[in-house]
Amino acid sequence: MTSTEFQRLPDRRLCVAPMMAHTDRHFRYLLRLISSRVMLYSEMLTTGALLNGEPSRRLAFDAAEHPVGLQVGGADPVALARCARIAESAGYDEVNLNVGCPSDRVRSGRFGACLMAEPGLVAECAAAMLAAVRIPISVKSRIGIDGRESYDDLARFIDTVAGTGCRIFIVHARKAVLGGLSPRQNREVPPLRHEFVHRLKRDFPDLEIIVNGGIRSLEGARDQLAYVDGAMIGRAACDNPYLLAVADRELFGLGTPAASRREVLERFIDYMETRLASGDTLQAMTRHLLGLFQGQPGARSFRRHLSQHARASAAGIAIIREALELAAGARHSLHSAGCQPAVLPIHPAASRRDGTC
């Protein structure tokens, strides 16, 4: 196996969830600068968007993002098989079928979490995708939906889909309420039932089971690995992307030192200059930087400057360097005043507690 193939081999011990309006190519590139091994996923793309739009534009990503999976939404086995082939041709390392999104818009298209009521159809979709490509196919679901929320219901769903040969299941450990709750409320209101997902691994030991939901730190992810094969972090990675900084060492056993926040930013600036030359907007990229210094002295000054100035039509890379200098000035003011910051130094080597543990 070559080093390139090793880099692309999906290792799902720690994943970042596919999230609409968050996990675009720019955010994934930023995360890859922080961790070389965490499994990344795209935003969900529907079969209609892929087959009727411009696949090359929608699917474009940087080779540095590997391993990266494409999440698709749909309920037509033929269309999903075509999308899986397109994803494979585009270079993605995995295709994930969305059977977990609870939004009304998704449900009106007969895909997402409502498909948990039709395990036979999900099995047909998975079978068609598996037959179409050589890369892995995974399914991301909830633990249940209204009226189908017992563990036995979940186990029957998994058993039916696994009968096609699908071996990878990512399970958000909350049920989906398909009426009366917004997507955000569906991420927070239904109680977490991690024990359902843990039991799945015990009952289906040959399947790869990844748990999602309520995991907000590297320590929390590591705790889950005592019961399942992998853990998936969602909004916490958006709020504080640097929490992944010690994942390569702590979870994947790599000896490479983590880059500091400033080093990550400098490398991302190089990337931004390339993307700006290709026509991307500055704000489309800087919005992902807002949490990079989360918990550090000067973070508010950094965040405020980017938020206020990156949208201007004439804004350029200088805006980021100005924000960085403002953050450094805020840190200097704290030290000059004799204040002790309530957080630890920027570089993760200083402590396992920095940002994550």
The DSSP result for 266-319, as a single string, is HHHHHHHHHHHHTT--HHHHHGGGTTTTTTSTTHHHHHHHHHHHTTSTT--THH
Percent of the chain with pLDDT over 90: 78
Question: Among the ranges 110-114, 148-152, 323-327, which has the highest mean pLDDT value?
Answer: 148-152
Per-residue pLDDT tens over the stretch 164-215: 999 999 999 999 998 888 888 988 899 999 999 999 999 999 999 999 999 9
pLDDT band at 314 (very low <50, low <70, confident <90, very high): confident
Number of Cα atoms under 13 Å in the Cβ half of residue 282:
17
Is pLDDT above 90 for 266? yes
Q: Could you tell me which of 236, 296, 167, 265 has the C-alpha nearest to residue 15? A: 236
Mean pLDDT of the chain: 89
pLDDT confidence of residue 77 = 98
Distance in angstroms (rounded) separating the CA atoms of residues 282 and 268: 12
Please enumerate in sequence order all residues whose Cβ is within 8 A of that of 233, keeping only pairs 6 or more positions apart, or say none. 14, 15, 16, 17, 215, 216, 221, 243, 244
Confidence of residue 163 (pLDDT cuts 50, 70, 90): very high
Q: Which of 229-233, 250-254, 259-263, 313-317 shows the lowest per-residue confidence on average (mean pLDDT)?
A: 313-317
**Among candidate residues 87, 95, 92, the one with its CA nearest the CA of residue 67:** 92
User: For residue 333, what pLDDT is reported?
Assistant: 56
pLDDT over threshold 50, residue 346? no
Q: What is the pLDDT of residues 281-301, one digit of tens each?
A: 999 999 999 999 999 999 999
- 281 vs 7 pLDDT, higher one: 281
Is residue 19 within a helix (H) or strand (E), and if so which, with residue range?
none
The answer to whether 101 is a known catalytic residue is yes
- Assigned CATH topology for domain 3-250: TIM Barrel (3.20.20)
Question: Each residue of 109-140: pLDDT tens digit?
Answer: 678 999 999 999 999 999 999 999 999 999 99
The answer on pLDDT for 93 being more than 50 is yes
Question: In CATH, which of 2.60.120.380, 3.40.50.2000, 1.20.120.1460, 1.10.240.10 is domain 261-336?
Answer: 1.20.120.1460
- Backbone φ and ψ for 223, nearest 5 degrees, come out as -60, -40
Examine the pLDDT at 35 and tell me if it is beyond 60. Answer: yes
Residue range 266-284: average pLDDT? 96
pTM for this model (two decimals): 0.90
Tell me whether domains 3-250 and 261-336 share a fold: no
Catalytic residue among 101, 114, 125, 166: 101
Q: Is the dihedral of CA 170, 172, 173, 177 positive or negative?
A: negative
Over the range 281-292, which residues count as b (16 or more CB within 10 Å of their CB) and which as e? ebebbbbbbbbb
User: What is residue 1's predicted lDDT score, i.e. its pLDDT?
Assistant: 41
Q: What is the pLDDT of residue 329?
A: 72
Residue 90 half-sphere exposure toward CB, CA atoms < 13 A: 25
**Domain ranges for the chain:** 3-250, 261-336
pLDDT of residue 109: 66
**Single-letter amino acid code for the residue at 337:** A
Per-residue confidence (pLDDT) for residue 53, from 0 to 100: 81
Average pLDDT over residues 252-264: 95
Phi, psi of 17 (to 5 degrees): -65, 150
What's the whole-number mean pLDDT along residues 270-290?
Answer: 96
Q: Is 341 a residue whose pLDDT tops 50?
A: no
Band (pLDDT 50/70/90 cuts) for residue 255 is very high
Residue 257 to residues 3, 221, 253, 296, 348: CA-CA distances in angstroms? 19, 20, 11, 20, 9
